[in-house]
Structure 1
Amino acid sequence: MSVSRYPVAIAGAGPAGSAVALALHALGVEALLLDRPLAQPFRIGESATPDVAGLLDRLGAGHALDAHLRYHGNLSLWGSETPRLDHFLHRGQGHGWHLDRARFDQALRQEAMARGVTALGDSGVDGIAPSGDGWRLQVRGLGEVEAKVVVDAGGRRSPLASRLGVERHRLDRLQALACHAPNHGGLSGYSLVEAAPYGWWYAAALPDGRALATLMVDQDLAREQKLDQPAQFLAAWRATRLLAERLPPPARLDAVHAFAAHSGCVARAAGRGWICVGDALMGLDPLTSSGISGALGDALAAAPAIAAMLDGDLAPARAYAKRADDGFRRYLAERRRHYRQETRWPEQPFWQRRAFAPAALAVPA
């Protein structure tokens, strides 16, 4: 059986994986991009903060934001009974974007392929073992692949790093319970965030004219209160103040879709011949709206470290791990600060857990 050989194999073709492929191509490094199929067809929308445009320009992929909705700021009911509008212009920033995630991800993959990156759809890594000075992978749909460096861009499960025995720290059990509304109501241009005793709600307009309504709640609390069931989900939605006013709930729902939204990170960011990027490196609370920004930033930082690995130099990988550690520490401090601003339900489990959340967790090299 013939073996395909690439300097770099990237497991995961979401924004982080495609961005790594683009950044490596700019450095003259060939990579194989492996894209596994989605477990479910429902795609959760996502916000892109204003800094995403500059990151995409550095990758030569600014067009990936074409046809998405402008996002001007956040309307929130958090820590107070009075709604608050936080406009990006008040921070001296431009606008962000409300994304059609499937379209955004596809644009980045297609840009990578247009530049000659080999991408394999409906694939995944079924096995990995050391081979010479690199790795031998069992790739679904292709067979055996040899790569000197492997990149885990496979999301919050860190699937490739876990196969290498790298532990992942999980800080909470937050999940997103989501559905689409038939129209975006009074949400155009803004994200809406509303705290509740059991968690918090997020809603945003989508480019296709619909809206996304999402409840962020811990898995055990969702089960106990049956919030993952359409009837109770709708009842909780109707009981909101700001959300129900701006985005009235539909009369009925057929299903509520659940997605992982917990905070966590790998115990090691990189090692000899491997590196993690995006959610596979660290999963951030959706409250930060920084998932896309973080994925692109990781890719741009990881590419030089990967190129150095190919030459046997691990110093840039250690610097990359230090960057990840510093970033995750800042994130945890900010996360705890933001959750502590909500003091209306101190006895409720969701808020008690976050009041005593850790303020630091190392991500060593």
Structure 2
Amino acid sequence: MSAKRYDALIAGAGPAGCAVALALQRLGVETLLADRPLAQPFRIGESATPDVAGLLQRLDMRIDFAGHSPYHGNLALWGSDQPQLDHFLFRGRGHGWHLDRSAFDRMLQQEAMARGVAFLGQSGVDGVAPDEGGWKVQVRGIGEVRARVLVDAGGRRSPLAARLGVARHRLDRLQALACHVETAGDLSGYSLVESSPHGWWYATALPDGRALLALMTDQDLAREQRLDHAGNFLAAWRATRLLAERLPPPLQASSLHAFAAHSGCVARAAGPNWICVGDALMGLDPLTSSGISGALSDALAAAPAIVGMLNGNLNAARHYAQRADDSFRRYLAERRQHYGLETRWTELPFWQRRCPPPLGGSRHAAPRAYQGRLA
């Protein structure tokens, strides 16, 4: 039997992968969406900024946000002894949403299937080899398929790009130590950020009445300070000001989960008959709160590049690579600026690694990650 043929195979069915599938479906591209099982069901990306609704509308999705709760802005204790409120209303943007993330992802997957996208859950890519006009792909659960274009939407590991020998730049060792808290405290409608000597804290209310709490710190610092131990984690939590007031620490912490949260990017955004989107393209510091909106934006930009590949025209892919390069360099400048606002712990390792270098320094120079071309 000959292998099933698709125009595009997308590895990863999170927001980036589903959005690419939906955008390609509108353009008449036959697509297979393959999703690998989650290593753990705990999810860290729980918020959608106000621009997400508009990006979904560009995919012809009319979203019912029932089961999710409004997200009005951010409350921060950063670089000052006084909390600062960034209300989305002040920007004329409306509100975003605190998500039931699993339900949100399922909604996108179901929408893709309803529109005729072939979806294979609990699967993954086990092997890739060049084929005339595309690729031979070993897909867990169905065997060999042929695809003309591969789309890596597999997250920070960039699994397809790695199989193709594409390097990934890693700028830091940031990780999230996260847990659920049974009460949301005084967080309703807002996300909270508070800087601390060894990193920064993030907390947000979830639609089910609980809260998500995460300490963002570097892996080596977490080991040295033993912050992944419940007692030390709770002690650091109690030492906060705004967080401890808005979300009082319990007597015992629930299980901690560690997640990669480092900044990084693939060495090339795309190549002959392959392309990266979402976190597989570039992983940004969670401080940006741009994970979902960035994934959807990447998908909308990637769709015409993929169609161009199918038609033998690489100009759109070159534009996509240049867009990625510009976005990552802009992100690095904004990251440097935001971390530089916090000057209370500049002698400590976490902040030394992120504070702007002296004038003329190059410690945070952008890697040559994207060249605006395919070769």
The equivalences for 1:156-305 within 5 A come to: 156-305=156-305
Partner of 2:367: 361
User: What amino acid maps onto 2:156 in structure 1?
Assistant: R
- Say whether 1:87 aligns with 2:87: yes
Conserved 8 A contact 1:45-1:212: no
Conserved 8 A contact 2:234-2:252: yes
TM-score (norm 1): 0.98
Conserved 8 A contact 2:180-2:254: no
User: What amino acid maps onto 2:246 in structure 1?
Assistant: R
SS at match of 1:63: coil
Give the Cα separation in 2 of the matches to 1:185 and 1:284. 28
Partner of 1:26: 26
Conserved 8 A contact 1:328-1:361: no
Give the Cα separation in 1 of the matches to 2:140 and 2:209. 37
Conserved 8 A contact 1:64-1:104: no
Give the Cα separation in 2 of the matches to 1:129 and 1:211. 44
Q: 1:110 to 1:87 in 2, by over 3 A?
A: same
Give the gaps of 5 or more residues in structure 2.
358-362
Q: 1:64 to 1:276 in 2, by over 3 A?
A: farther
Deviation of 1:319 (Å) = 0.3
Give the Cα separation in 1 of the matches to 2:336 and 2:62. 33
Partner of 2:69: 69
Give the Cα separation in 1 of the matches to 2:211 and 2:297. 28
Give the gaps of 5 or more residues in structure 1.
none
Q: CA RMSD in A?
A: 1.1
Runs of 4+ in 1 over 6 A off after TM superposition: none
Give the Cα separation in 1 of the matches to 2:64 and 2:302. 21
Deviation of 1:359 (Å) = 4.6
Give the Cα separation in 2 of the matches to 1:64 and 1:340. 39
TM-score (norm 2): 0.95
Partner of 2:50: 50
Partner of 1:4: 4
Give the Cα separation in 1 of the matches to 2:308 and 2:108. 24
Q: 1:193 to 1:235 in 2, by over 3 A?
A: same
- Residues 79-126 of structure 1, C-alpha deviation per residue, up to 9 Å, x if partnerless? 011111111111222111111111111110110001111000111111
Conserved 8 A contact 1:45-1:206: no
Partner of 1:139: 139
SS at match of 1:145: strand
Conserved 8 A contact 1:32-1:117: yes
Conserved 8 A contact 1:198-1:348: yes
